């Protein structure tokens, strides 16, 4: 009997222009204990290009990006067929920004700066949801 020995890799797009926040996300992902292929987009146009040309399991999105804002990216991509879940990681505490992001399809909205533990918890919740959805290959019948 053969068991599925391949481990699925989380393909994550991070749309973030602040290097400090990129480091925070990298550390949060590392603590999740999941193999991750992280792609970083430093502006909204790069994020859209990556979303159009690659498949991702999860997107972490800053709303205040150069060259294309995160709200527009959400409106264009978050509810499309086959769209990955979006977690917004934003400096905006305005309830209207949060509401608009969630209405546009974001699954989570985390205000920065936030506590590292809070952010890790949110990312871990999304990663757990992703890993629970992965289909394992059934064992072949003898």
Residue 102 or 112, more confident = 102
In a domain, 36, yes or no: yes
Q: How confident is the model at residue 7 (pLDDT cuts 50, 70, 90)?
A: low
Q: What CATH number has the domain bearing residue 124? A: 3.40.50.2300
* DSSP β-bridge partners for residue 108: 87
3-state secondary structure at position 92 = coil
Full-model pTM = 0.82
In a domain, 135, yes or no: no
Average pLDDT, the chain: 82
In a domain, 81, yes or no: yes
Of 70, 65, 51, the C-alpha closest to 11 is 51
Q: Which domain holds residue 14?
A: 10-130
In a domain, 136, yes or no: no
In a domain, 39, yes or no: yes
Mean pLDDT of all residues in 101-112:
91
Query: In sequence order, what E strands does 9-125 have?
Result: 10-15, 36-41, 58-61, 86-90, 108-111
Mean pLDDT of all residues in 17-43:
88
| Contacts of 131-136 spanning 24+ positions with Cβ under 8 A | 131/8, 131/10, 131/34, 134/8, 136/4
Q: Backbone phi, then psi, for 120, in 5-degree steps? A: -60, -45
Residue 65 · residue 77 · CB < 8 Å: no
In a domain, 61, yes or no: yes
Task: Report how far residue 140's alpha carbon sits from residue 142's, in angstroms, rounded to the nearest whole number.
Answer: 6
Residue 105 · residue 79 · CB < 8 Å: yes
Here the tokens at position 39 are 């792609």
| Number of structural domains found in the chain | 1
In a domain, 45, yes or no: yes
In a domain, 1, yes or no: no
């Amino acid at each position: 009997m053969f068991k599925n020995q391949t481990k699925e890799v989380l393909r994550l797009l991070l749309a973030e222009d602040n290097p400090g926040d990129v480091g925070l996300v990298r550390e949060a992902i590392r603590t999740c204990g999941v193999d991750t292929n992280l792609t970083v987009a430093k502006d909204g146009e790069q994020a859209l290009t990556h979303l159009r040309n690659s498949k991702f399991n999860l997107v972490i999105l800053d709303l205040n990006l150069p060259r294309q804002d995160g709200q527009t990216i959400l409106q264009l991509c978050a509810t499309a067929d086959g769209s990955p879940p979006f977690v917004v990681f934003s400096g905006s505490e305005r309830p209207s920004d949060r509401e608009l992001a969630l209405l546009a399809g974001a699954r989570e909205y985390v205000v920065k700066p936030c506590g590292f533990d809070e952010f890790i918890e949110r990312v871990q919740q999304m990663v757990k949801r992703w890993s629970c959805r992965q289909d394992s290959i059934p064992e072949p019948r003898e």
